[in-house]
Structure 1
Amino acid sequence: MSTCTKRVALVLHEKKVPFVFHPIDLSKGEHKAPEYVAKQPFGQVPYVEDEGMTIFESRAIGRYIAMQYAEQGTPLIPTNIRDMKKTVAFEIAMQMENQEFDPYVSKIGMEKIILPLKVPGFTPREEVVQEAIVALSAKLDVYEKILSKQKYLAGDEISLADLNHLQWGVLLKYAGIDIMESKPAVAKWWKELTERPSWQALVKGIESVEKYD
């Protein structure tokens, strides 16, 4: 169920990096146990261990994986940081997801899906949901302009910025909100993202991967 854990698993699949998944039972507070907090000081999921390092914060983990395993799988970050045009476009797209998309879509997801599952008797506050939908629609109008001119947010090549939208974005449809399909260029982009094999591998949950073909 963890959107942040799926964000990391998605990048691992795209980069063809085998991994061992260790489920954490949030309902039992395993993420607050001393041995867990020693690895993730905020007591949140996920964290990864690789090459003697412990890394937390899902977007930072994704960037690490993309850089550390740059020579395999799908290129997800600019390969030449001195290429200012591509690098700046990538950084802008990363901030778009973090600042212009996530705050609104996560608010909708929390109200309509997460809190009703976690809090007995919780009723979504429709005024909060509608306010977030209106704001998100305005943001997606800008996405529509960008995606009408190029295939992905940072240009014509997929990047971390595009993939980072999936984890919360797919919950909109489960909440009965079809906003991602309401704008032609956004809808085309969204369809391509949700149909990627890496995302389809996570639809039924996260499982360890010993090797990739």
Structure 2
Amino acid sequence: MVIKVYGSMFSFATLRVLLCLAEKDIDFELITVDLASEEHKKPHMLALNPFGQIPAFEDGYLKLFESRAIARYILLAYAGKGTDLINPDPKKAALEAVWMEAEAHKFEPAVLTLAWELCMKRFLFGQKGDEDIVNAEEEKLESVLDLYEARLSESKYLSGDGYSLADLTHAPMIKFLMGTEMKRVFNARPHVSAWVADMFARPACVKVFGVVAY
């Protein structure tokens, strides 16, 4: 049975799942959910994700939601395929887990409002972002990226010398922000800029992001 992903190319969480599938070279069917009409809140979607969010995921009889959990499932269930993005070494795996937590609890909160103001308002509703909000949130992003710059001055990737899920989870939001004025914030930090360029050059990113308008 073909894996089904219910989501949207305008959803950062959906893109996180699609990147994992691309890294593993796994075929899937993307079933587009109309965010503008709030299809994700309709009964047929709530049956797949009771929180009324995307993505939702089906692999045979297994149904999952929450993109980071789905990503880990893909990498573990299809360990013999494609790129290995979870390190079996306990110490290296712990570093991956640390930076995945940083992405979820430090990086995403710093960029989520920016992504909404600069990307989603324009994509979904044709509206311009609030400049005061953007300026305030930019300061938060600067602070977080200073810490990332320090980390990436020590190693090529967040958890060490190898690309991992810890890096991949960041890619969707960065992709959208790099199409806005926030690009200069990333480019102002040479190690962060090199990290982003390296990620975006990966075949999986080229494949998935090649159909993303930003």
Give the C-alpha shift of residue 119 in structure 1.
4.1
| Residue 190 of structure 2 corresponds to residue 184 of structure 1 | yes
Query: What RMSD over aligned residues (CA atoms) do the two structures have, in Å?
Result: 1.7
Residue matched to 2:74: 65
C-alpha displacement at 1:105, in angstroms? 1.4
Aligned positions of 1:193-204 closer than 5 A: 193-204=199-210
Which residue type is aligned with residue 20 of structure 1?
Answer: E
Q: 1:144 aligns with which of 144, 149, 166?
A: 149
Identical positions, percent: 36
The separation in 2 between residues aligned to 1:27 and 1:184, in whole angstroms, is 37
What stretches of structure 1 of length at least 5 have no aligned partner?
207-213
2:5 corresponding residue in structure 1: none
* Residue of structure 2 in register with 1:114 after alignment: 120
Query: Could you tell me which residue of structure 2 aligns to residue 90 of structure 1?
Result: 96
1:129 partnered with 2:161: no
Distance 2:44 2:136 in 1: 40
TM-score by length of 1: 0.88
Q: C-alpha distance in 1, partners of 2:189/2:35?
A: 36
- State the alpha-carbon separation in 2 of the partners of residues 117 and 200 from structure 1: 21
The structure, 1 or 2, with the larger RCO (C-alpha pairs under 8 Å, 6+ apart) is 1
CA contact (8 A) 1:109 1:175 kept: no
Q: Secondary structure at the match of 2:129?
A: coil
Q: Distance in 2 between matches of 1:87 and 1:95?
A: 12
Q: Greater strand percent: which structure?
A: 2
Aligned residues: 202
Q: CA deviation at 1:170?
A: 1.6
Cα deviation for residue 15 of structure 1 reads 1.1
Q: What is aligned with 1:209? A: none
Moved runs in structure 1, 4+ residues, more than 3 A?
116-120
* 1:158, distance to aligned residue in structure 2 (A): 0.9
Q: Distance in 1 between matches of 2:82 and 2:122?
A: 38
